[in-house]
Amino acid sequence: MAAPSPGPREVLAPSPEAGCRAVTSSRRGLLWRLRDKQSRLGLFEISPGHELHGMTCMMQAGLWAATQVFMDHPPTGPPSQDDFSEVLTQVHEGFELGTLAGPAFAWLRRSLGLAEEDYQAALGPGGPYLQFLSTSKSKASFFLSHDQRFFLKTQGRREVQVLLAHLPRYVQHLQRHPHSLLARLLGVHSLRVDRGKKTYFIIMQSVFYPAGRISERYDIKGCEVSRWVEPAPEGSPLVLVLKDLNFQGKTINLGPQRSWFLRQMELDTTFLRELNVLDYSLLMAFQCLHEDEKGLGSSLVFRTARSVEGAQSPEESETQNRRLLPDTPNALHILDGPEQRYFLGVVDLATVYGLRKRLEHLWKTLRYPSRTFSTVSPARYARRLCQWVEAHTE
């Protein structure tokens, strides 16, 4: 389902003063990347010599210029229909960067209290992007900004079309439910090198931020098939995101926060079911609370996220399922239990239950007659994930 596409704008892009050269680097293998000296546990700097260094330098220079447009011309109100379908192409030396629905995303970033200057500094050429070894079965590339605050992922054209087609309703859902667990999508772009094929990528607020004390990470779909990851050896620097079967025998102890969490999962999965979407994941990470951090949730004054728009009356706040937000960065994705801090967010919102997925469902029904798998109807997918959450929380 393609989003409407008005006539694109094409402009010559300004360049950041501290840019890095977008050059084609030699290909290196996995062992070379593992030997590369790193300053961040389990993450690998995409520095000169890395096979993706040229591409990420172009992304950084392009995103710096793209963000500058909305710093010079900030949104004055909620996005219009034209804002959701705008395409801006900025021409750089050797490549072009496209910004899709730019005014709509600029407004969304502003409504989340995210300063464009901070966004530009994190994603621009100020420091190398970071790479981690993903356990995903997709062929996408995954990056983090140098401060680990933003997550970048390459996407197929069809997935981008789905995201853009759903964007107006996504924005509306976040307005209705400002504390939603859905990952905050902050930008959609295309990169085209030397008039070649376009590579699309998205930018999200990282669910796992700040990551300094995180001990375990999980990607949960509520099923069994292909949901096991071999854990990294003890002492290994690798950061692996584990899956459903790795979580067996464990629980999430949220205490008084549990009822809010179950309700928000129901609201968010109902929204995704209405979009006919499936195959999304609940990301989870754990961090032990220090003694002086325990119990702070009970003394917090009720507040909303900075600059998040929404109703303020108690009745409307109840409808929106607001909660006490911790006074910490990335508060929308953090819940504190009695003993642990949990990082929680729903990601991968671009798979529609069309003909291809229906055929895949039939094949998997024959292939795995007594096991659960991810390709099921959106209604069943939503219900099953909510049941998993209810069964694994206390």
pLDDT (tens digit per residue) in 144-179: 999 999 999 999 999 999 999 999 999 999 999 999
Q: First vs last Cα of the chain: how many Å apart?
A: 40
Task: Out of 214-223, 248-257, 364-373, pick the least confident.
Answer: 364-373
User: H helices of 112-257, where?
Assistant: 116-123, 157-176
Residue 42 has what pLDDT? Answer: 65
Report whether pLDDT(22) > 50: no
Angstrom distance (rounded) from CA 243 to CA 281: 10
Residue 36 pLDDT = 40
Task: List the chain domain ranges.
Answer: 42-206, 211-301+326-393
Indicate if the pLDDT at residue 241 is higher than 80.
yes
Per the model's pLDDT, the better-predicted residue between 73 and 232 turns out to be 73
The pLDDT of residue 357 is 86
The reported pLDDT for the residue numbered 6 is 52
Q: pLDDT band for position 239 (50/70/90)?
A: confident
- Whether 211-301+326-393 and 42-206 are alike in CATH topology: the answer is no
pLDDT of residue 154: 96
The pLDDT of residue 260 = 97
Better pLDDT: 233 or 282: 282
- Check residue 232 and give its pLDDT: 84
Instruction: Give the chain's radius of gyration (CA, Å).
Output: 21
Q: How confident is the model at residue 41 (pLDDT cuts 50, 70, 90)?
A: low
pLDDT of residue 319: 82
DSSP letters along 246-287, please? GGTT--B--GGGHHHHHHHHHHHHHHHHHTTEE--EEEEEEE
187 contacts: CB under 8 Å, gap ≥ 6: 63, 66, 99, 102, 105, 202, 203
Other beta carbons less than 10 A from residue 274's beta carbon:
13
Query: Mean pLDDT of all residues in the chain?
Result: 86
Answer whether residue 31 shows pLDDT above 50: no
Residue 237 has pLDDT above 70, yes or no: yes
Least confident of 24-33, 165-174, 290-299: 24-33
- Model confidence at 30, pLDDT cuts 50, 70, 90, reads very low
**Nearest 5°: CA angle at 191, between 211 and 354?**
80
- For the domain 211-301+326-393, what is the CATH code? 3.30.810.10
In percent, how much of the chain has pLDDT > 90?
Answer: 69
CATH class of 42-206: alpha beta
pLDDT of 3 higher than 90: no
